[in-house]
Structure 1
């Protein structure tokens, strides 16, 4: 199976790439990235495609991706790292442009688009909802609305919470440096509120499996949007963290 991955140099993307490289059912990984991806080096099935403009997909690139059956969209940034205009472009415009382009790859067979959103995203923002919650909620809805117009395009919006890399030693040499405030927070969550933790190993597994799936709506606790939204509770349940 051929899959597409974005955001491979980020924390979530590194976890996904580690899982994809270890998955026998995946024969090819097309990694769209603005820069080289060190983890992919030496792996024959991983190809890094340097892609500068995530709003645009030309015919040559789409031809190279034509037999891909799924995508994990892990590209993203913190609302504190860019201005509002840039955040909207990266968080909202980029995945929507990709979804529209990838839906044309093979119109007669299914394509699974797995969007990495986040807990706090909402379609009903209030006065105090942060920008990330509003914009991620908007793009979740925009992707869902688009998926309903294309018969072969299957969407999953996935909402990890506190992404926890501590037990995933295989990615430690490849992930970006994390903000200092995260390190003391994770142990606290581990003790008092495990449902707000999302280990990268399990997250990479569920994101990869969804991209490789048949695109059927999901069911069970923590699933919403007609089977297209996977909350962190569902991530933990589906990966056996919550039994």
Structure 2
């Protein structure tokens, strides 16, 4: 597979990138974003692109993509709805829309969050905006769109958040969540779990377009050889 990752320098994106580089059936990985990941690999291509709302200049790089993993995202803390929508909704749809025009046979996997509201009626702003983005993605005409909604995510294999506040929170969260994870493996996920789940969605799909935490864990456990279509 030829895959593309938006947000490969973020905590979850780092985990997805690692799993893609380790996968035998992934031949090319394009890391697209404003900055480059701190990884070197024979099958990694780094595509620096500063305007994430426009892709006309790099359409030739998006051709022949089999799967795309969109891991960009920001916290809604301190943001009004207009600003949060511009980042969460507009950037996502610009990327997916470009892919739909150039590689319509590709699979698009979107990193959302537990609690996103598909009905778009929640009183909580971020839940409503995320839900609206999820719905819009499924109308773009791509071969397949999958939404994953993880809750607690533990960083693995050196993955770390780019946000100082999040790094501080993880220092407090990780020891406790690590102790609890063996008891609740389907509720507390890791960056490795999410990376493997995204790859398996590209390989074999899923009966439903939206995957909650337990679904993400379950599909991540399928061996790659079994998951391949």
TM-score when normalising by structure 2: 0.84
Question: Deviations 1:14-33 (Å, cap 9, x if unpaired)?
Answer: 00000011111111111111
Aligned to 1:203: 194
Question: Deviations 1:161-220 (Å, cap 9, x if unpaired)?
Answer: 11111xx22x34x65353423343445455375543111111111112223x25x4x23x
Supply the distance in 2 between the matched residues of 1:77 and 1:44 (Cα, whole angstroms): 30
Instruction: Map 1:1-243 to 2 at 5 A.
Output: 1-39=1-39, 42-58=40-56, 60-80=57-77, 82-107=79-104, 110-124=105-119, 129-146=123-140, 150=141, 152-165=142-155, 168-169=156-157, 171-172=158-159, 175-176=161-162, 178-189=166-177, 191=180, 194-211=185-202, 213=203, 216=205, 218-219=206-207, 227-240=208-221
RMSD value, Cα: 2.3
SS of the residue corresponding to residue 14 of structure 1 reads helix
Supply the distance in 2 between the matched residues of 1:203 and 1:141 (Cα, whole angstroms): 21
CA contact (8 A) 1:162 1:186 kept: no
Unmatched 5+ stretches in structure 2: 223-229
SS of the residue corresponding to residue 72 of structure 1 reads strand
Supply the distance in 2 between the matched residues of 1:77 and 1:163 (Cα, whole angstroms): 15
Number of matched pairs: 217
Unmatched 5+ stretches in structure 1: 220-226
TM-score when normalising by structure 1: 0.80
